[in-house]
Structure 1
């Protein structure tokens, strides 16, 4: 009966077996059979499940209003309205927008924040006027929500904590719908300028209490303002008025079944505050921000560990917490790339681990597919089933070859083959070229990472972006984190390409690089090693590489470039001017994958694959710590003289 319900066959809806009563009710609500009073209250949860099996918001809204009109018990009406409003606010909005919904008596039971929400057909970014106070809910509702990035969120947290009377307002249920915001220059919000009054807020509490923002019973009265701040910050990241929801809960494509959704009540107990739990795209949610949200949105069943959490838990007053936020703002302001106008975020692979004094191990993978002529110029995101199968087989074979090559390479090292059986990785980073892996085939990379315990940077094939209504070119970091007990987790973070090539522009590809990621590995003599990556043509952006010179220790380039000689010369120049190892992976169709470091004479060329139409895997070790300072004793290998003006990278 459950299978028949999922395929829309309700021919068994009249089955009378007592054991199948719940399933019979599920079929009845999918047929939108009217009910009332207690019968309606019992059927409503199944109706919400049915909307995940076969979504029809308009029909559900009509059924809901008919059942509410027929129900005579005010208590049942109130409970049913609140259940829909809390668990499926998108369906309640459809009902509220109808002619009958705008004047229905049950409307009074809908939370005020949901009644005031203006539904938009598309999630375009609103026009942000630098002179006016704007509703915060409208600012965060667009696809280009500035506060989905940590830098802007820090500026907002500072403005909130500096506002007069904010503790009492947060404790009494202040939410994003009651706040207005003004920024003196929205284009600079990620830069965190040190300017008085750069970001200002004002707020006004409503008369009605809102059940969405009531203080939970496990939160002490004196800590209610902390919970209120967490609600606002989490809403701003996701862009949703319901702070418990990830963005996808209200915006995902309902034509794809993605499992039963959790309820608002359960989400309040177990909020996931990592990148995958907050946003609908891979984004850099740092451990600092994740810990802050977890501490603010406190739950007695959660044990939050780490240095960041300790500093948050020690902040007992608004001023204490403001000091912690200001300290983080200073760190992020120093990381901001002034020349390229790019915010930068550090994501560690292992938080709180002391760096290990050894060289880093890299692998460059040069596959053959997809070839340039396999991309459709008119529909670059479209792939036939035959091509997808061919690419999947090729990627699987390349991953097997990479694993065998790494094991063979390991036998020549001191630890030999036994290294694969220990917690130490065979290699630390594996680099794939631009446009080399389809997003549906990323599972092969996870399997490869599990075998060699490496993080991976790969260029994905073109992706249709809802933000731009156009294809974009993105790279993907698979950041591997080892967990206690032998487990592991992956954090997925996109690395965008801001400068499409002339051929890509003809295909309609848009540039999109909202941030630059720095992946931090616990490897180095004194400080961890930070690795940055760029997609092909972006590596020629001198503003970006100038910003990265003082912030990264290794520079990766995922390329798909037929002008091999030009990119060889570029790497030869960059490894000196950035004064760090530069590693480039190109497609096998053209060859030319290379790795170079600022060493003297023949030692500077660490790896280079010559020739076209070759599948190749290059493995090597390099010590980035050598190039971090100009004041170190003479190393084993003779280095080039640093470039003019280079004073060394500051400690992490």
Structure 2
């Protein structure tokens, strides 16, 4: 695709002609079907804007593209859907809100949205993007949305501070363990950021942090050798190293081969094995890329 606002304009004009200034109750069945098709196409256009359009390597695009202008125009389209078509199908509203969140536009309220599930989900996403203070069950419920925002707008340091504050304010030990386990499994690097935040005495929630992650935190904060010179270290330690040996294809294939050769690895992966729990041993890290 050639992302440019000039090419996007006729597409949006055609969609707007079907989405606005029409009264569904006065339409014939064929015209109503056209509106439903336009809603579906609009939703897919917004979905592509979140995960596909403009996210390839720049050398794959022609020189004359204008990705920023394309996203801004699509953002205007998404805002109009939310403001003027609050009764749209849930899948269109969902993608409109998600697209706006992906470009950092969290200024729209959802009071007029008639689909309650869309409003609830968007409010969680919006609160997570703004790092609103939260704790206890509310923190556990908003956590999936917070992890999604870190894929769209990564800010590990601020996330670490936000998570640490929420965990400190949570008293229930069952909730603490569930929250810590969720982050440790999904994004152990973000939990490491939270561990690194200092604020008085040792907080209760750190008792539930996996010991392997605690050790990685100590190595990261100390003046230790980089991971590529250690004979044995955790996979997460290697991944966080600036010279990650698995950042290239040959190294990644060697890692996959090593993991798949471990007996019953499928069972362990299904049980939640993460980079925190995997210890690697290598006599010569520098030679990994030279191996056939």
> TM-score w.r.t. structure 1 length?
0.24
Give the strand-richer structure, 1 or 2: 1
Point out which structure has higher relative CO (alpha carbons under 8 A, 6+ apart).
2
> Which structure: greater helix fraction?
2
Structure ID, larger Rg: 1
